[in-house]
Chain A
Amino acid sequence: AQSVTQLDSQVPVFEEAPVELRCNYSSSVSVYLFWYVQYPNQGLQLLLKYLSGSTLVESINGFEAEFNKSQTSFHLRKPSVHISDTAEYFCAVRNYGGATNKLIFGTGTLLAVQP
């Protein structure tokens, strides 16, 4: 069965500092990988995704994530965070092909950016 592990439930960081949110997955088949963000009092929004091709994917607001197949990881990074990045971040996987396209989510990481 597939699973997603986000070991850090909370990551406090000062504004303009770099940050890495860790995501590891377990799957016996090829997967697609996603990061979703949930800002306070808002719904889940897609931040970035890896489907195929380059293992490094970027979002429009400066986040990037790298798919590492050997380490089964898809860590999210940003070189310099802003107060407005404060949110809950969820990593998710989905089977490549197969009968279902449901997303399997991790438990989330709260990124708390402090001034």
Chain B
Amino acid sequence: GAGVSQTPSNKVTEKGKYVELRCDPISGHTALYWYRQSLGQGPEFLIYFQGTGAADDSGLPNDRFFAVRPEGSVSTLKIQRTERGDSAVYLCASSAGGWDTQYFGPGTRLTVL
């Protein structure tokens, strides 16, 4: 079946702009995660949704970052007033339940000029 998909695959924006990154999880997966991978680093946890609610948002770096999952399926990661330090690959993962294996999407490469 279809895996986790993320759009766009690449996003270039200017400092100070607003961006939205989209994640479509595997159909039927109730849990959804966002991670960020900076150059030369491993993925770093941002936020975890169980259904429509954020069960753990302890990884969001500051209040410029926000994520939603209004219908318990597709999720959008929103970044306001982007900074050059936000440049990274943003990864989305989903799992059937909260404690099941996480399956990752291909990521969105965000470049802030």
A9 — nearest CB in chain B belongs to which residue? B40
Report whether A107 and B40 are in contact in the complex, using a CB–CB cutoff of 8 Å: yes
Partner of B103, one of A46, A49, A106: A46
**CB within 8 Å for A106 and B42 given contacts A43-B107, A45-B104, A46-B101:** yes
Q: Is the beta-carbon distance between B43 and A90 smaller than 8 angstroms? A: yes
Inter-chain contact count A-B, CB under 8 Å?
55
Q: Provided the pairs A42-B106, A43-B91, A44-B91 are in contact, do residues A103 and B45 lie with their beta carbons within 8 angstroms?
A: yes
In the complex, which residues of chain A have a beta carbon less than 8 angstroms from the beta carbon of B59? 102
Alpha-carbon gap, A104 to B101, bound state (A)? 14
A67 at the interface (CB under 8 A from B): no
CA–CA, A6 and B42, complex, Å: 10
Across the interface, A44 reaches (CB within 8 A) one of B31, B41, B43, B44, namely B43
Assuming A42-B106, A43-B105, A46-B103, is B41 touching A107 (CB within 8 A)? yes
Q: Would you call A103 and B43 a contact (CB within 8 A)? A: yes
Size of the B side of the interface (Cβ < 8 Å), in residues, is 27
Label chain B's interface by main secondary structure. loop
Q: Is the CB of B42 within 8 A of A90?
A: yes
Measured between C-beta atoms, what is the minimum distance from A102 to chain B in Å? 4
Query: Do residues A102 and B48 form an inter-chain contact, with CB atoms below 8 A?
Result: yes
The chain B residue sitting closest to A90, CB to CB, is B42
Chain A CB within 8 A of B13 CB: no
CB-CB under 8 A from A92, the residues of chain B are 42
Smallest distance from the beta carbon of B44 to chain A beta carbons, Å? 7
- Report if A100 contacts B (CB, 8 A): yes
> Do residues A101 and B43 form an inter-chain contact, with CB atoms below 8 A?
no
- In Å, the complex CA distance between A107 and B93 comes to 18
Q: Does A99 contact B (CB under 8 A)?
A: yes
* B residues in contact with A108, CB < 8 Å: 41-42
- 8 smallest CB-CB distances across A and B, nearest first, come from A105-B42, A44-B104, A102-B45, A43-B106, A100-B56, A43-B104, A105-B43, A107-B42
Binding site for B on A (CB under 8 A): 4, 6, 36, 42-46, 49, 90, 92, 99-108
